[in-house]
A = this chain, B = another copy of it.
Amino acid sequence: MEAAIGIDFGGTTIKSGLVAGGNVLKRGTVVDTQKAGGLEDLLGALVGIVEELRGEGVAGVGVGLPGMVDANRGVVNQLTNVAGWNSVPLREILEKRTGLPVAIENDANAMAYGEWRHGAAKDGRHVICITLGTGVGGALILDGRLYRGATMGAGEVGHMSIDYHGLQGHYGNHGALEKYVGNQQITDRAFSRYAKKGMGRIREQCTPAALSEAARAGDEIALGLWEEVGYEIGVALSSAIWLVNPDTVVIGGGVAKAGELVFGPIRRTICSQTGRVFHEHLRIVEAQLGNDAGIIGNAALALEAAADAARNPVRSV
């Protein structure tokens, strides 16, 4: 079985692994992104990870990064929360320094690709993946291929509107889903709701994890809030489902750990707000690969790029 190196370049840490058949065989040293230094130091760290993990039979390296990544041209246009990465031809740089074929990708796309190739969406052909965390990220697999869109921006379910007169998101977009169901927003809503009822809570008691625990113990406010959050996610997903008619929806990230508390209302909303042919065979499932989705997805993308290169040795840049 062919192996590849997958690197999950996050705003906080860089995690990596040697992967074959969707399994992480060996892990690379974790690098602290913010402490590593500037662009040149981070490039050095990436080369170091490749040297640490490479061995015979490694077909290539895949790197997923948070921001605007032009996967076709192999260029990082800009990173979120990491300074100095503007128009960096990362693929070319790493290929020269390591001698291995390199693929680069947006992090949300890489995670979705991992879930599709080796995780929760394995049998899907049309997949919406969303990650519920600080923000709400997303990615699409359409017609059996990673779908990137005209400017590599596709899949932003978190910026879709659920209320045309609602709260404004980062881009001026009214009713942006992540302004309702981001980690911080859930915490804020719980905090003010407990306060209103005269049931003072500190913020640490209002995090999504704490609210899951409270809801499981029967807390009415927490239960009600999960219903609302699930409904809101369900409305945005219903709009996405009307548009791209998927066979699989994968939901991951911290908020998804609430399990049926949030999956229940999400499923009920989708079933009550879409046509039958849109939901009767639709699978709505939790992500399976957890923190390894990026590592596994990037390795899978590296293998795919290597196979493409073998079929078609001249690559357009």
A25 within 8 A of B: no
A278 within 8 A of B: yes
A221 within 8 A of B: no
Name the B residues within 8 Å of A173 (CB-CB). 238, 242, 273-274
Find residues 196-248 in chain A having any chain B CB closer than 8 Å to their own CB: 231-232, 235-236, 238-240, 242-247
Please determine whether A161 and B235 come into contact, CB atoms closer than 8 angstroms. Answer: yes
Mark the stretch among A8-16, A150-158, A306-314 that contacts chain B: A150-158
Name the B residues within 8 Å of A145 (CB-CB). 143
Residue from the list B150, B151, B171, B242 in contact with A156, Cβ < 8 A? B242
Number of identical protomers? 2
Please determine whether A150 and B243 come into contact, CB atoms closer than 8 angstroms. Answer: no
Name the B residues within 8 Å of A275 (CB-CB). 153, 156, 159, 171
Name the B residues within 8 Å of A247 (CB-CB). 150
Residue from the list B140, B277, B278 in contact with A243, Cβ < 8 A? B140
Q: Mark A148-192, 1 if CB is under 8 A from B, else 0.
A: 111111111101111111000001111100000000000000000
Q: Which residue of B lies closest to A77 (CB)?
A: B277
Assembly CA distance A170 to B174 (angstroms): 24
Please determine whether A151 and B281 come into contact, CB atoms closer than 8 angstroms. Answer: yes
Extra A-B contacts (7), CB below 8 Å, given A143-B145, A160-B243, A173-B238: A148-B245, A150-B247, A153-B275, A156-B245, A156-B275, A171-B275, A240-B243
Interface residues of A (CB under 8 A from B): 68, 125-126, 138, 140, 142-143, 145, 147-157, 159-165, 171-175, 231-232, 235-236, 238-240, 242-247, 272-275, 277-278, 281-282
